[in-house]
């Protein structure tokens, strides 16, 4: 477009960020400023990680580590809303992944092992799997799993844990088609185990279900009307309780 070059990956990345921003706006509007901080921190971390370890450009490891660290730090400052914020951001970012991965596929910058499969892409060195496509497909499966779980009104923290575990699985199923990278395998297994552990702990919580039902439940239930489909903003629950007491 004139002197400007518009890359397909840039369009997909922008679409992914807009989708996450929109979901946060619909389910946890009070955390939009946190969303901006986390995105900036993640992008800076991805670039810095690439420079420090000689990988060049934006690195997924740096983006994920710094972005997750920033999310945990900001959530820890939310009194009584730690799990709500994690649920909300996990829900939004899970939908970011497959959209961003479409950009990776269009850029063809994640080259897999040689193949004769119909899914192979012709690269200069022969036909190989395009990992961007495989990650987009598996990432869409992870997003579908998180969406289905969120509609069941899970206890707080479960949506975040399922997102972590499902994204780990989405990476594990693609790794056999990628050149071996032991750190990727270890990180994916670690995320899967952490996600399963959190689900187990949260489901075994001795509190009543009414008190521990996911904060995402009501916010997601109202998505089709004034928000999204299974997690309730604590402020929304307090407002409804106050209105009921006034009506009585």
Tokens of 197: 């552990």
Q: Tell me if 80 sits within 8 A of 118, measured CB to CB.
A: no
Question: Going residue by residue through the chain (248 aa), what tens digit of pLDDT does each one get?
Answer: 556 677 788 899 899 999 999 999 988 888 999 999 999 998 888 888 777 776 666 677 778 888 888 999 999 988 788 888 999 999 999 999 999 999 989 988 888 999 999 888 998 889 999 999 999 999 999 999 999 998 887 888 899 999 999 999 999 999 999 988 777 788 889 889 999 998 888 877 645 444 444 445 555 554 444 444 455 555 554 444 444 444 44
User: Which residues neighbour 110 within 8 Å (Cβ) at sequence distance 6 or greater?
Assistant: 104, 130, 131, 132, 135, 178
Distances from the Cα of 24 to the Cα of 88, 95, 196, 224, angstroms: 7, 11, 24, 14
């Amino acid at each position: 477009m004139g002197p400007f070059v518009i890359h397909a990956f840039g369009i997909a990345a922008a679409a992914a960020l807009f989708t996450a921003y929109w979901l946060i706006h619909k389910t946890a509007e009070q955390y939009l400023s946190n969303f901006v901080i986390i995105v900036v921190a993640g992008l800076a971390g991805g670039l810095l990680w690439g420079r420090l370890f000689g990988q060049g450009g934006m690195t997924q490891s740096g983006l994920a580590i710094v972005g997750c660290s920033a999310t945990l730090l900001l959530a820890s400052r939310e009194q009584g809303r730690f799990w709500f914020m994690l649920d909300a951001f996990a829900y939004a970012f899970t939908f970011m992944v497959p959209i961003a991965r479409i950009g990776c596929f269009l850029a063809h910058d994640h080259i897999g092992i040689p193949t004769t499969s119909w899914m192979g892409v012709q690269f200069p060195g022969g036909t190989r799997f395009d990992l961007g496509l495989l990650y987009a497909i598996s990432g869409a499966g992870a997003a579908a799993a998180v969406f289905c779980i969120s509609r069941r009104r899970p206890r707080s923290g479960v949506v975040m844990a399922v997102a972590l575990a499902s994204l780990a699985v989405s990476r594990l199923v693609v790794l056999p088609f990628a050149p071996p990278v032991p750190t990727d395998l270890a990180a994916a297994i670690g995320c899967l185990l952490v996600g399963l552990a959190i689900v187990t702990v949260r489901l075994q919580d001795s509190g009543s279900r009414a008190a521990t039902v996911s904060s995402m439940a009501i916010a997601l239930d109202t998505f089709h009307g004034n928000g999204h489909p299974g997690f309730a903003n604590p402020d929304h629950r307090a407002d409804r309780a106050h209105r009921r007491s006034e009506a009585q």
